[in-house]
Structure 1
């Protein structure tokens, strides 16, 4: 493992889980289904045992599973279409990918056979002071309940998000994304990865099942892995706080539920062999299922500023005040499901 990374693990009647200090990342997770099968839906990057990974940015070195991103995304100069502007607040550290907590080692709190807790202190110059994370398996189910607390150092408005990343079955289209209700699908207003974009940029559609590509085709973006080699994003707005992934070839569903009042959008990260440079090497296949209050992963200056999502009534940042702890709860679970 990367220098300084430590891990804690626990098992309960319906599974086992591991958490690492780097990024506070949860994964892998093994769920024991009532029929006796074991399933492990969270993704672990394929370079996790590569000694060269220590040359990577911290967030990538042990990339896996699920973790919180405060703030979500990163400020970066990029050319965007009209209507997108970096008018929100920026600050020292705003360019750190997915926030300070995604790139450093968290401190362990109470860890026993019922829970794992961690906390992460932010630099003195950052508007956020502290993150606290509690991971508790449900003693009666193949499920994990997670609590995130955020304490601010000063008044601020920031994009925030959760970053569950799921592995996919190898056959194209074999996993079905089953979101709860949502109002609109938005495509990224540019290139997520130069030369690897798939979806027509800066567009909107009513359904994930019919999304236009840059080549003029209509694809079903609810069936993954995609057949195209791509690295792209879609954002679902007006979500109801729930999503399932149906692994048809493996006969189970993974479910994620969250508080929609905190995370009114869901970002889908299609990482489908589109990135060719190290460590991705054209082999990375995973799906990010990321509840957010953010404009894609465009960072604080854009998400807390004027953008088309905000203009349509979608919140892309959260207000934080010192002395008022923000608390949000979410749940990851698995269940048997029909094959096919």
Structure 2
């Protein structure tokens, strides 16, 4: 845990440029900025977001396209830099969990190791051992000293958990046994080498969740959890193991992240 404390308190390397107010926003400026419609067709939509002039990021362009020939949606996010820098990047797909305990099964591709959120996303509620490292999703260490399976959701108990699978292969398949639907998310793991799993299992009793939220965030990232720029840019227990927690950005060389959600038939 001491390594995480050092990462949270670290200063930003001058080679990454100064951070501005938009860098300190939870989940980034793209979640709060006003997007503009660029074009729209029968099967696709393209939107763009101009970043504040003081930001190292100039513009983000997002395209969503429904595949006319299969039950799938293709997405892309292009990031244009104003100056040379590095930033943590990530995607934030959310899926509703079934009501029946254990009815959603997570089939991950290969990953090098997993890490439990260092602080616990909900103090006094989260049960996974903060900062613990694990190798299997069905054997995640708990605060109490045992281990539990995190590959079947929702849990029977109320909780809030975040774990990060590092060194992934860019694929995860989720089977909802209640609805008999299986979907697959694929992405470019050379850009986003980790998968963040946000398990909101009725563990937040305050507004707006009110003890009712039951969802799974399935989030490809190059970051240190959702802890923001400073710990992601600094040395931390994830990048110390060789897994990048930020992406290099250069003016005139946009970084593009593509991903695809599809329904998988038996």
- For normalisation by structure 1, the TM-score amounts to 0.74
Task: Find the counterpart in structure 2 of residue 135 from structure 1.
Answer: 64
Task: Find the counterpart in structure 2 of residue 110 from structure 1.
Answer: 39
Task: Find the counterpart in structure 1 of residue 147 from structure 2.
Answer: 218
Which of 19, 29, 41 is the aligned partner of 1:91? Answer: 19
Q: Does 2:38 align with 1:82?
A: no
Q: Does 2:250 align with 1:321?
A: yes
Q: How does 1:120-269 map to 2 (within 5 A)?
A: 120-269=49-198
Note the C-alpha offset of 1:191.
2.4
Q: Is the 8 Å Cα contact of residues 120 and 162 (structure 2) preserved in structure 1?
A: no
Does the residue aligned with 1:124 lie in a helix, a strand or coil? coil
What is the CA–CA distance in structure 2 between the aligned matches of 1:283 and 1:99, rounded to whole Å? 26
Note the C-alpha offset of 1:105.
2.4
Which of 235, 244, 251 is the aligned partner of 1:306? Answer: 235
Task: Find the counterpart in structure 2 of residue 69 from structure 1.
Answer: none
What is the CA–CA distance in structure 2 between the aligned matches of 1:251 and 1:88, rounded to whole Å? 47
Higher relative contact order (CA 8 A, sep 6+): 2
5+ residue gaps in structure 1?
1-79
Q: Is the 8 Å Cα contact of residues 88 and 303 (structure 1) preserved in structure 2?
A: no
Runs of 4 or more off by more than 4 Å in structure 1?
Answer: none
Which of 270, 280, 283 is the aligned partner of 2:212? Answer: 283
Does the residue aligned with 2:264 lie in a helix, a strand or coil? strand
Does the residue aligned with 1:181 lie in a helix, a strand or coil? coil
What is the CA–CA distance in structure 2 between the aligned matches of 1:287 and 1:133, rounded to whole Å? 22
Q: Is the 8 Å Cα contact of residues 251 and 336 (structure 1) preserved in structure 2?
A: no
What is the CA–CA distance in structure 2 between the aligned matches of 1:278 and 1:148, rounded to whole Å? 31
- For normalisation by structure 2, the TM-score amounts to 0.93
What is the CA–CA distance in structure 2 between the aligned matches of 1:81 and 1:165, rounded to whole Å? 31
Aligned length: 258
What is the CA–CA distance in structure 1 between the aligned matches of 2:196 and 2:237, rounded to whole Å? 16
Cα distance per residue 1:187-238 (max 9 Å; x no partner): 1111212222110111111100011211223211000011221112100011
